[in-house]
Every structure is written in structure tokens, then in C-alpha cells.
Chain A
Amino acid sequence: MVFFIYILVFFGFHEKVAYYSYYFYEEIFVWEVNVLEETIYIRMRNRVQSPPEEKVLLKDIAQVIAPDEVLSHLQAMMIHQLLDAEQNIVIIDVMKVIHLIKREFGEMEVQTIGPAQTIIEVTYKKKGVSIPYFLLIWFLLFFGSAMAIMNFHDDVSMKSVQEKIYTIITGKKETKPLLFQIPYSVGLGMGMILFFNHFFKKRINDEPSPLEVEMFNYQLDLDNYVIIHENKESMKKISDD
């Protein structure tokens, strides 16, 4: 139903291109002039990992769309020099990036899309996980949860409940209802694996497990915290001498 005529007239105008568009739309005539400036689009990445003392270039911290003649120059533009003394998280605000781009390509328009800052995580030499440390925590969790489940069983008098169930089902008295207890114990572990959707490394289906969602949310909260607290520009005290 939409019926429109699109007429293009263009002529040189301070190296900018002007499009005159003429729409015919439901008996209303619309004239529109689009003066297309040359535009640089940037989209900051969320998180970037970088080794220390590295020069951070624009292409590392943002996706860039720009006219071909300036693209390579733009991408190689240095935004930040990481110093060794610096803490392991640096926030680059999009305002700083725009400032630097405007200084070199003042006549171009900069459009930003997406997040307003990039978190640079300085990764010092990846320390391997220390094996004794890891084993300590593994056994801490192992015996900790073993103790916890035993205390829980004792607390809820599971032994007497199980003996009662045994008597209800079979009509016999049994002080060692192992026929019930061993499947119960294995099922306990199976239930936890089912909940976390992990069978050692193999997944039961491809949806993320609640734990992975939880890890993601935790990381998001941490990121939000550093964005506000490590970014000098996002909090300011106006001094009232």
C-alpha cells in the first residue's frame, strides 16, 4: 500500500553529499534533505584482556565502522598506554575515545553504539593453579559436604524414617535398610548433577546451567562495580570551598 517515489538529486557541496528525497505518501508530500556527513561508528567492547605495558589501540577496545580512507588509521590509533605500575583493571570511557578521534578527525561525526566504556583487564603472567592449594580446597569441599550431609541426616532423623518406610513397604522390621539407603545415597549425587546439568565435563543438554548463569551475573555485578568505582569521570565531588 505504501507508495512512494524516491528521487535522488545530488551535487557537490563542501565535499559532503546531499540527498534530496521526495516522498509521496498517502497524499501528503514530504520533502526531506539528508546531508550525510561522513560518520565514524564505534561500539565499545565489554571486556578486553591485555598483557601489561601494552599499547591499547582503538581496534582492541572497539568495533569501528568508518569510511575506508580513514579506517586503517583509526584502528591503529593509540588510546591508552598501560603502565606496569597500574592496577589490573583500567576503564576506558567512550568520552575519552571520542575526544581523541575528534582531535585527529575533527570534521567527522562520531556515533557511538552500545556500552559506554570498556573494561581492560590487565592479565599478568597467567599464574598456574597451584596443585596443593587446589587439592586442599577439593578435599575441604569433599569432607565438608560429607560432614554436612551426615549432620543433616541426623538432624531430620532420617534413619528412623527409613526404617519406617521399610516396614510400611515390606511389612518386615529391619535395622539396616541398605536396600533403600544405597540407592538413596547414589540418587543424592545424581540429583545434584542433574541440577547443575553437568556430567563431569559432558552436559545433559545445551542450556546454560544455573551455576553458569550465576557466574555470569556475578561477573556482571563486578563489572558494574568497577565501571562506577574505577572510572574517575563517573563520580565527581563538586567542592564547595
Chain B
Amino acid sequence: MISILAIIFLGVASGLAVGSGFVAFLTVLGVIPRLTQLSKTMKMIQQYEWAVVLGALTGVGASLREPVLHMPSFTLIFLGITGGVFYGMLAAALTEVLNVFPILVKRIRLDGEIAILIMAIVLGKIFGSIFQWVYFVHH
């Protein structure tokens, strides 16, 4: 009995740590404010919080229990795009937090052309990702 209680306590404690860490990470990178700013839906921010929480819980369920849904395979396209956009925003936010671009652009006197440098990184990410899945992992 006491061991069951201890296990439950441990589970809640570790879940609390991981969950708050996840939310803190998202908050620092400011992805959700950025999305509300782009779509002008500041009022819905509470709904977005719930979306993140429920999404995380769905992910927990999927990775712990591994259910099988038998859905048509094209639903994966939707999942892939949403996952990719989310990761892309995280990556972009991380580059921005690290303050890479302002310094780089100043150094090489390219003030007007940041878009070109961003495109280098964006295309590099797409290229690297496709290259990995199509060729790299099978060698």
C-alpha cells in the first residue's frame, strides 16, 4: 500500500517537473504570443493554453499506451505539417533568442538583406531534413 502511494507520488512529482519545464520552455521562446500577434486573436490565449496542455497529454497517452487507430494514411500529411511548423517556430525562436542575426548582419554590412540570410537557414533546414529522411537514415 505504502509503495503504491510512493509510486503515485513519484509519478505526480516527475510529471509536474516535466510539464512545468515544457510550459516554461514554450513561454521563454514566445511562440504562442507570436502566433496570436500574427492572427490577432489575443482574446483566445486561454484556449491556446488548453490546446498545448491537451496536446501534451495526448502525446503522453500515445507514447505510453501506443494505441492503434487504423486511420487512412493521408492524415499523416496533416500531422507532419503541423508538427513541422511547430518545430520550425521553435527553431526560429531559438535563433532569435540567441541574437545571431543582428550581430551577423552588422559584421558583414548587409543591413537590408536579412531576409536572404533567413532564407539560407530556412532552406538549409528543409534540405537537411528531407536529405535525412530520404537518404541519410537508410545508410
Which residues does A use to contact B, with CB under 8 Å? 127, 129, 133-134, 137-139, 141-150, 153, 159, 161, 164-172, 176-198, 200-201, 204-205, 207, 210-211, 214-215, 218-219
A192 & B89 in contact (Cβ 8 Å cutoff): yes
Q: Are A185 and B126 in contact (CB under 8 A)?
A: yes
Per-residue 0/1 for B18-41: is the Cβ within 8 Å of any A Cβ (1 yes, 0 no)?
A: 000000000000110011011000
Contact of A142 with B127 in the complex, beta carbons under 8 Å: yes
Q: Determine if B9 is an interface residue (Cβ-Cβ < 8 Å).
A: no
Q: Are B38 and A193 in contact (CB under 8 A)?
A: no
**Are B117 and A180 in contact (CB-based, < 8 A)?**
no
Interface of B is mostly: helix
Q: Which of A164, A170, A177, A201 has the most CB of B within 10 A?
A: A170
Taking CB atoms, residues of chain B closer than 8 Å to A179 are 73-74, 76-77, 80
Of chain B, the residue at the smallest CB distance from A214 is: B102
What residues of B have a CB within 8 angstroms of the CB of A177 in the complex?
A: 76
A150 touches B66 (CB 8 A): no
**A137, A187, A191: which contacts B80 (Cβ < 8 A)?**
A187
Q: Are A127 and B109 in contact, CB atoms less than 8 angstroms apart?
A: yes
CB contact list, B38-70 vs A, under 8 A: 38, 62-63, 66-70
Question: Which range contains the number of B residues in contact with the other chain?
Answer: 35 or more
Q: In the A-B complex, list the 9 residue pairs whose CB atoms are closest, starting with the nearest.
A: A191-B88, A187-B84, A146-B128, A183-B80, A145-B124, A185-B129, A195-B92, A191-B85, A181-B133
A214 near B101 with CB under 8 A, answer yes
A185 to B124, CA, bound (A): 11
| Extra contacts besides A191-B88, A194-B85, A215-B102 (14): CB < 8 Å | A134-B108, A134-B110, A167-B66, A168-B62, A172-B73, A179-B74, A183-B76, A183-B77, A186-B84, A188-B126, A189-B88, A192-B91, A193-B118, A218-B102
Is the Cβ of B73 less than 8 Å from the Cβ of A169? yes
Distance of A161 Cα from B66 Cα, bound (Å) = 11
Q: Is the CB of A182 within 8 A of B133?
A: yes
Q: How distant is B56 from chain A, measured CB to nearest CB, in Å?
A: 15
CB–CB B80/A211 < 8 A: no
**Bound Cα distance A134, B137 (Å):** 32
